[in-house]
Amino acid sequence: MIQKERIKVLNKQGIKKGTYVLYWMQASQRAEFNHALEYAISKGNELHQPVIVFFGMTDHFPEANEKTLCFYAGGTQGGEAVS
């Protein structure tokens, strides 16, 4: 169960009917001990929808260089890469 203090509502829009729950991964690039990902999965289960994880890599990432971008790419493998 996710602690209520960790959830911040950003707008007053309700949940729209869709075909998946999108988790936009940014700061916590890990599958374990990731409260935001756990919350997305719980919402997906509640709505009976799959969770899609998006991690957008760009060369404008803070302190991005070839080594760190390769590290991020290696750490996020396991899903399908979309270019």
Domain that holds residue 45: 4-10+18-75
Nearest C-alpha neighbor of 38 from the set 28, 48, 78? 28
Least confident of 7-11, 17-21, 24-28, 65-69: 65-69
In a domain, 80, yes or no: no
In a domain, 50, yes or no: yes
Based on the structure, what is the number of domains in the chain? 1
Kindly report, residue by residue over 19-63, the tens digit of the pLDDT.
999 998 877 777 778 888 999 999 999 999 999 988 777 767 667
- For the whole prediction, is pTM greater than 0.75? no
Q: Tell me, what CATH number does 68's domain have?
A: 3.40.50.620
In a domain, 28, yes or no: yes
Burial of 23 (0-12, 13-18, 19+ CB in 10 A): buried
